[in-house]
Structure 1
Amino acid sequence: MRASATGPYLRLRAIAGTHVVVLAWDFVVPPDISTLVGESNLLGFAVHRQKFDAAGNVQTSYYLRGLKRFEDKDKGLPPGTLVPTSEHPIQSFLWADYTAAAGVEYEYAVEPVFGEPKKLWIDEAQGVSVRVRCETTAVSAGQSSRHEVHFNRGVIGSQAYAREFDNAAPDSNAPASKPMKWLSRGLYEALLAFIKRGAKQGTGLRAAFYEFRYLPVAQALRDAADKGDVQIVYDAESTYKVENEATIEEAGLAEFVHPRTVTAGIRHNKFIVLLKDGKPVSVWTGSTNISAGGIFGHSNVGHVVHDPEIAAQYLEYWERLQHNLTATKLREPNAEASPTPSLPLQPGTYPLFSPRETKETPQAEKTLQWYANLAEAAQQLVCFTAAFDIAPEFLAVFQKQNDVLRYIVKDDPLKKTEDLGADGDVIFAPGGYIEDDNALTNALKESGNPLNSNDYIHTKYMLVDPLGEQPTVVTGSANFSSSSQTQNDENMLVIHGDTRVADIYFGEFMRLFDHHYARYLAAKYRRNPKSPGNYLKAQTDQWLPAHLDPSNYRSKRRSYFVG
């Protein structure tokens, strides 16, 4: 959901997903910075939140809090202490509330803060407020969108986890424990609920899994098989074969599975088709492997489409996989069943199944190039996640000099071969966590991720102009790589024109990007002792100019995000 408001001094826009509300604001009339320096001295902005119950009554009302503070104010705070934005204002035109709840209504007020750190004043009369309701995780009756989107937190290494659980190692054998439920943030529960829909007479499930080694999910499928019709294709060739088959044996699923033993590429799908009276009605897909690490460890998404036509395409794809066909025999039927749609896209949802082409396919006809063309057509904003390497097709897009903001978050630092160019509108964040010798004043030490070797980013999605009226979301199991199109079993969804889906993905992307970008800067500051660390700046002319400089990405962000 999106909502905007204009006051005497500021314009404000809220973009609400399920668990994230992104707030962007701008001056109604951009001032000359000299008018803000001196006695007035704009220190930043305070953000106030009210939460409402179902009857419209105020449940809670307070200023949101953050970690950054003025160096000479509130000294001696214990590490990890959150400070109110009314006392330590936000020195940006962007903020996000990561504590919002799905389906709940909130009102946010952004108010300018003037003066000096120890003698500040909030000009409430110059503030602006907006009311917004977070999206529900389930599709409601009457909604045009047919998509459910479930993101886990994907950040064991976080200040919130350190404060809440003192960095205790999560117990993967106890999915109902508080740390595991916190990490899941509904992803695990949504997966079990989808499986349960197939656990009754007249229903069925058709699943295809790469990692199939989390016993509680396997047991849920076994329970469904007692009442419904369950059949599972699983990877029986990779290094996960032994664990997959041990899980199948322990759950008693041996009579319901079909091993996929082809050796080309990897059998990388993670989807389930729901059948009712023998007909496909919905599909669960996304990036989440059936493992403790996939569900609770690194960032992942479960994406449900309630659409018989889309589900039927997935069922036909599953049937090809069930026959254990090689990549050579799969490419042509996959490409025919799920051709890349013509550009510019028309509103709709388009599945793309792999393997679908060969290395000899002309470059202009390759699906990876088609994805890159989508990114290159962006007018304002691209958001891109990479679990592994950034392909040359995308590097070419990111290297171009233009005014499109291109945000990239990746599991690890850039390799020597990953040259993003020199355009200041490309902003990169590698995965990371805060260690003992961090440069973030007032921050707790965080824990690494004990559940995964691929520690942070496992999602495979791209957003093109997500804040526009015709946003594009690309999401699924396939890393944006050549092998994902030529050899691997993969599935992707291209969703165009659904602002609800785009708002959810955008909020989650900004949550992960901001989380890891702060840690990237902390590592950078640790290497440079003269850097300012995590302190707020006490003078307007120290923090504001970059946000008003048209050549700076912060200025473009201020303009693009507020709409």
Structure 2
Amino acid sequence: MRVPASNGATSVQAIAGTNVVLFGIDVADDAVAGLAGFGIEVDDGSGHGFQPLRNLLLFEANDVGEHPDHSSLLNPFQAFVWGHYTVDPDHDYRYRVTSLRGTAGALQAGDVVELAVRTESGTSGGHAIFFNRGPSAAQAYAIKFDNQNPRDVGAPAWTWLSRGLEEGLLDFIGQATGPTFALRGSIYEFQYEPVLQALKAASGAGADVNIIYDCIPNSAGEPVDKNHAAADSVGIRQTLMIERTKGVRISHNKYLVLLENGEPKAVWTGSTNVTEGGIFGHLNVGHAVRDPQVAASYLEHWTALSTDPDGPTIKDANDQNLPSFDGKPPAGVTTLFSPHHDLAVLNWYAKLMDGAENSVFLTAAFGVSKELRAIFEEHKTYLRYLLLEKEDGTIDTLSRDPDNVVAAGSFIGDGGWRQWQKEMLALIGLTEHVHFVHTKIMLIDPLGDDPIVITGSANFSDASTDANDENMLVIRGDKSVADVYLGEFMRTFTAYHFRGKVGVTGGAMAPNPSAPAPDPPAKLYLDATDGWTKPYYTDGDPKQKERLLFRAPPS
């Protein structure tokens, strides 16, 4: 849901997903002088009226006492794109955005813009999208749970970390309540006991349940050994499971198909492995599509996989009925399944990126393929956001173009930059190989009228295209879906971009789990002048481009 509003020289566009509301704020050029920032208040309908959002950064003059007041009415947000990250799905909110002028302790309210929004629902409509919190929420976790291991905290911590992802998956399975239902699945890592028990319960209620799982032999025994052990422990290996043993490097799907009276009704897919780390640890998404045609395409793929075909056979099946790669995808939902005989699909993604009109947003958990890197290396006049799992040479190379805005997973370590709590969520033992970002998301022009969202299990790599079992959704023209994905992308990107750049000598990235946080010589404070606004009004500056990208469209 996108809601524009304006008053005087200030305009605001609210972009509401399920658990995030973004604000694109703009102030007329001739009204910027003296601007201290923006206060944002929310009325959530609980009867407490408008309450200010908190700003973790303070004016130095307001840093008084052990518990200073972090109200954004006293310490305004000094950015033109901000987010409220603690909203609930399918809920009405009223917001008040106030431009503030003057100095700390003597701020004066300027334009006040009010907006009413309703967040997207996770339980109705054609799409239900569930993102967990991920380690970008590590500071909030440290404050709320004192960095305790969730295994020690119990249900409150797990529920907070899941943020609806586990619940959405279990609810999807829970629809199979009797013999008129069936579930068909293909899952890479299949180890989280509550999900296995839910599938067993569905079978026990009379539903026809069959799950293909990765059993590809390899020297490390991953994930086959743990998959076998989990299925054995619940007693479903011999009754519900189909082994995928050959023809691909890994069988990397994470999907379930729901059937009723023999007809496919809906599919659950996304990036989430059925493991503790997948559901509660690194950033992941579960995406349910309630569309019989989409579900039918997944059922057709599952049927082909269920015979444990060799590589050429499954590639032949996956290369049938592909969309035209000459232009954009058709409106609605297109499904794609790997492996293929060639890299045409990956090259198509690169072509779609290259044809963007105003923005690209990409998560790359395992690096950027040469096909996509070539597009990032071409100069464009608009912004391209890239969110990586970890710092590598990609950061330095692609950041040479200021219109490539790059961030990698990072955290606040020992010392807390002298003002925040140490963040331990990435180190707490929930994850093994991937600590921060596991999503596979590409957004093309998400703020326009014809957005493209690409999401699923494939990592936008050569291997995910021609060597692995994978699946992807390509969704064109659905602004509600784009709003959800954009909000979650920016929530995560903003957190890591801040941790990676602020207070680090020479602009170096903040560390991954192997090193302590930097120790700056002084605390970080808000700018006491209006100097913070300068890059937002400098032609060609990435911050100017971001302000113009997110602001309300001209009326």
TM-score normalised by structure 1 residue count: 0.91
1:300 aligns with 2:281: no
CA deviation after TM superposition for structure 1 residue 341, in Å: 5.2
Q: Provide the residue aligned with 1:129 in structure 2.
A: 114
1:347 aligns with 2:331: yes
Q: Secondary structure at the match of 1:255?
A: coil
Q: Deviations over 1:516-548 (max 9, x none)?
A: 1111124625978778763111011x2111010
1:398 aligns with 2:376: yes
1:452 aligns with 2:431: yes
Report the AA paired with residue 98 of structure 1.
Answer: Y
Q: 2: CA distance between counterparts of 1:418 and 1:42?
A: 33
Q: 2: CA distance between counterparts of 1:106 and 1:196?
A: 30
Aligned ranges for residues 291-440 of structure 1 at < 5 Å? 291-339=275-323, 342-358=326-342, 366-415=344-393, 419-420=397-398, 422-439=400-417
CA deviation after TM superposition for structure 1 residue 331, in Å: 0.9
Q: Provide the residue aligned with 1:539 in structure 2.
A: 529
1:71 aligned to which of 37, 49, 60: 60
User: In the alignment, is the contact (CA less than 8 A) between 1:157 and 1:447 conserved in 2?
Assistant: no
Q: Deviations over 1:349-375 (max 9, x none)?
A: 0000000123xx6xxxx2111101111
Q: 2: CA distance between counterparts of 1:93 and 1:61?
A: 21
User: In the alignment, is the contact (CA less than 8 A) between 2:408 and 2:497 conserved in 1?
Assistant: yes
User: In the alignment, is the contact (CA less than 8 A) between 2:265 and 2:291 conserved in 1?
Assistant: yes
User: In the alignment, is the contact (CA less than 8 A) between 1:67 and 1:82 conserved in 2?
Assistant: no
Q: 1: CA distance between counterparts of 2:326 and 2:186?
A: 28
Q: Provide the residue aligned with 1:18 in structure 2.
A: 18
Q: Provide the residue aligned with 2:2 in structure 1.
A: 2
CA deviation after TM superposition for structure 1 residue 223, in Å: 0.7
Q: 2: CA distance between counterparts of 1:403 and 1:32?
A: 26
Q: 1: CA distance between counterparts of 2:492 and 2:117?
A: 22
CA deviation after TM superposition for structure 1 residue 255, in Å: 1.3
1:118 aligns with 2:105: yes
Quick one: structure 1 residues 243 and 327, their matched pair in 2 at CA, closer, same or farther if it must change by over 3 Å?
A: same
Quick one: structure 1 residues 156 and 502, their matched pair in 2 at CA, closer, same or farther if it must change by over 3 Å?
A: closer
Task: Give the alignment's Cα RMSD to 1 decimal.
Answer: 2.0
CA deviation after TM superposition for structure 1 residue 45, in Å: 1.2
Q: Provide the residue aligned with 2:260 in structure 1.
A: 276
2:211 aligned to which of 226, 232, 235: 232
Q: Provide the residue aligned with 1:250 in structure 2.
A: 233
Task: In structure 2, list runs of 5 or more residues that go unmatched.
Answer: 509-517
Q: Provide the residue aligned with 2:513 in structure 1.
A: none
Q: Provide the residue aligned with 2:38 in structure 1.
A: 45
CA deviation after TM superposition for structure 1 residue 417, in Å: 9.5
User: In the alignment, is the contact (CA less than 8 A) between 1:151 and 1:186 conserved in 2?
Assistant: yes
Q: Secondary structure at the match of 1:536?
A: coil
Quick one: structure 1 residues 350 and 367, their matched pair in 2 at CA, closer, same or farther if it must change by over 3 Å?
A: same
Quick one: structure 1 residues 147 and 114, their matched pair in 2 at CA, closer, same or farther if it must change by over 3 Å?
A: same
Q: Provide the residue aligned with 1:555 in structure 2.
A: 544
Q: Provide the residue aligned with 2:515 in structure 1.
A: none
CA deviation after TM superposition for structure 1 residue 414, in Å: 2.3
Q: Provide the residue aligned with 2:171 in structure 1.
A: 193
Q: Provide the residue aligned with 1:143 in structure 2.
A: none
Task: In structure 1, list runs of 5 or more residues that go unmatched.
Answer: 141-145
CA deviation after TM superposition for structure 1 residue 330, in Å: 1.0
CA deviation after TM superposition for structure 1 residue 122, in Å: 2.0
Report the AA paired with residue 420 of structure 2.
Answer: A
Matched pairs, number: 533
Quick one: structure 1 residues 157 and 186, their matched pair in 2 at CA, closer, same or farther if it must change by over 3 Å?
A: closer
Quick one: structure 1 residues 448 and 152, their matched pair in 2 at CA, closer, same or farther if it must change by over 3 Å?
A: closer
Q: 1: CA distance between counterparts of 2:311 and 2:69?
A: 53
CA deviation after TM superposition for structure 1 residue 403, in Å: 1.7
User: In the alignment, is the contact (CA less than 8 A) between 2:184 and 2:258 conserved in 1?
Assistant: yes
Q: Provide the residue aligned with 1:30 in structure 2.
A: 29
User: In the alignment, is the contact (CA less than 8 A) between 1:206 and 1:231 conserved in 2?
Assistant: yes
Quick one: structure 1 residues 418 and 522, their matched pair in 2 at CA, closer, same or farther if it must change by over 3 Å?
A: closer
Q: 2: CA distance between counterparts of 1:304 and 1:76?
A: 48
Q: Percent identity?
A: 37
Q: 1: CA distance between counterparts of 2:435 and 2:547?
A: 31
Q: Secondary structure at the match of 2:170?
A: helix
